[in-house]
C-alpha cells in the first residue's frame, strides 16, 4: 500500500512538474490569452451541496482554487446505516491541447477535506481529514453566449490516507480510488 502511494505521488508530481516547467514557454507565446474565470458544479448543488471555483488562465494553462461540500447519498457511498458528508478545498492545474482555454484538456488536482461519517442508528459521528491527489481530463466549450463556458470532465482521485471507519462495531468502508464525473458551468472575465 505504501509503495502504491509513493508511486502515485511520484507520477502526479512528475506530471505537474513538466506541465509547470513548460508553462513559461507557452505563456511567452500566448501572453494575450490571460484572464480569470469562475465556475460552479450544478450537479453538486442538485445533490444539496456546493462547489465554487476561481481560475487564472495563462495561455494553454488554467490554475484553479475551489471550495466544495456535499452530503453524500447512500447510493453513492454504498454503506448502509451510515450518513456521510464532506467539506473541503482544492486546486487544479490543466493544460489545454489547443494552446488556449478551449477544447480538450488534461490536468492534475489535489485537495484536503473533512469527512464526517455518522452511524444512523447510534447517532454517533466520526470526523477525519483526507488528502487527495488526482488526474483529470475533459472538454471546455466556450458557448458563444458572452463569456459563458461549459466544462464536462472526469477525474480519478487517490486518497492518500483512506481507511475504513468503525463506529459501534459497524464498518464504513472507504476506497482510496474515487472516480468523479461532472460538469462545471462558468464565466470568463
Residues 6+ apart with CB under 8 A from 125: 116, 117, 118, 119
Say how far apart CA 93 and CA 73 lie, in whole Å: 28
Burial of 10 (0-12, 13-18, 19+ CB in 10 A): exposed
- In this structure, are residues 112 and 125 in contact, taking their beta carbons and an 8 Å threshold? no
Q: Tell me whether strands 103-119 and 124-142 are parallel, antiparallel or unpaired.
A: antiparallel
Q: Which residues pair with 86 in a beta bridge?
A: 70, 115
Say how far apart CA 42 and CA 178 lie, in whole Å: 19
What local confidence, expressed as pLDDT, does residue 8 receive? 52
Q: Report the SS3 class of residue 1.
A: coil
Q: Report the SS3 class of residue 26.
A: helix
Hey, what domains does the chain have and what are their CATH numbers? 2-188 (2.40.160.20)
Q: What is the pLDDT along the chain (189 residues), one digit of tens a residue?
A: 555 554 555 554 555 444 544 444 444 444 458 999 999 999 999 999 999 999 999 999 999 999 999 998 888 888 888 989 999 999 999 999 999 999 999 999 999 999 999 998 888 999 999 999 999 999 999 999 999 999 999 999 999 999 999 988 888 999 999 999 999 999 999
Residues 6+ apart with CB under 8 A from 78: 173
Q: What global pTM score does this model have?
A: 0.79
Say how far apart CA 165 and CA 167 lie, in whole Å: 7
Q: Which residues pair with 85 in a beta bridge?
A: 71, 116
Amino acid at each position: 500500500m505504501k509503495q502504491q502511494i509513493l508511486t502515485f505521488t511520484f507520477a502526479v508530481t512528475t506530471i505537474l512538474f513538466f506541465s509547470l516547467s513548460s508553462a513559461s514557454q507557452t505563456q511567452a507565446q500566448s501572453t494575450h490569452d490571460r484572464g480569470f474565470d469562475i465556475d460552479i458544479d450544478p450537479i453538486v448543488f442538485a445533490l444539496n451541496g456546493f462547489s465554487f471555483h476561481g481560475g487564472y488562465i495563462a495561455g494553454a494553462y488554467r490554475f484553479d482554487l475551489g471550495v466544495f461540500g456535499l452530503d453524500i447519498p447512500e447510493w453513492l457511498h454504498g454503506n448502509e446505516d451510515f450518513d456521510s458528508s464532506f467539506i473541503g478545498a482544492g486546486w487544479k492545474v490543466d493544460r489545454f491541447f489547443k494552446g488556449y482555454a478551449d477544447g480538450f484538456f488534461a490536468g492534475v488536482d489535489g485537495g484536503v477535506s473533512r469527512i464526517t461519517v455518522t452511524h444512523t442508528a447510534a447517532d454517533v459521528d466520526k470526523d477525519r481529514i483526507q488528502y487527495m491527489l488526482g488526474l483529470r481530463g475533459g472538454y471546455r466549450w466556450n458557448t458563444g453566449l458572452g463569456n459563458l463556458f461549459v466544462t464536462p470532465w472526469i477525474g480519478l482521485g487517490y486518497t492518500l490516507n483512506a481507511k475504513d471507519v468503525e463506529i459501534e462495531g459497524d464498518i464504513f468502508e472507504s476506497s482510496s480510488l474515487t472516480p468523479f464525473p461532472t460538469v462545471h458551468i462558468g464565466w470568463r472575465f
